[in-house]
Amino acid sequence: MSPERRAWGSLESDVMTVLWAAAGPLSPAQVQQALGRDLAYNTVQTILTRLQEKGLVRRRVSLAGGRGYEYFPAEDQASAAARRMRAVLDGPGDRHAVLRQFTAGLEPADAELLRALLRDADPA
């Protein structure tokens, strides 16, 4: 992995995606498990604390009865981000045309075509 790639995809972003994808708050151990990598528990704990200090993550005392904390994503910054994003992507004119979105929507016929393609793909 090039240093640049490592910088783009740091542990912080991986932890954030795990927390956002989860159905509820996660303990550091659960985050560690969801990351599915060879990461020390302390490293995960450090990242969670740093994200919390930056206001991106909140924590609560574990309901499971332990003495630890459970972490969940903070919504205020993410809501502000969503407002800006919507303003651009749903906004008037062709501003969204400037952007590289992962995918845009589909025509109904194309949806059927996609399903067919995935069904009978060439063997790799």
Which residues contribute to the site for another protein (CB under 8 A)?
Answer: 4-5, 7-14, 16-18, 20-21, 34, 36, 51, 54, 56, 73, 75, 77-82, 84-90, 93-96, 98-107, 110-111, 113-115, 117-118, 121-122, 124
Which residue number, 67 or 94, has a Cβ lying nearer to another protein? 94
Q: Round to whole Å and give the CA distance between 55 and 53.
A: 5
* CB 64, min distance to another protein, A: 23
Q: Which residues contact 89 (CB under 8 A, 6 or more apart)?
A: 96, 99, 101
Tell me whether residue 27 or residue 51 sits nearer to another protein (CB atom): 51
At position 11, the amino acid (one-letter code) is: L
Least gap, CB of 96 to another protein (angstroms): 7
User: Given the complex with another protein, which of 36 and 65 has the nearer CB atom?
Assistant: 36
Q: DSSP H helical segments within 9-56, as ranges? A: 11-21, 28-35, 41-53
For the bound state, the minimum distance from the C-beta of residue 67 to another protein, rounded and expressed in Å, comes to 27
**What is the Cα–Cα distance from 28 to 67, expressed in whole angstroms?**
12
The smaller minimum CB distance to another protein, of residues 67 and 100, is found at 100
Find residue 78's DSSP bridge partners. Answer: none
The answer to whether the CB of 15 falls within 8 A of the CB of 44 is yes
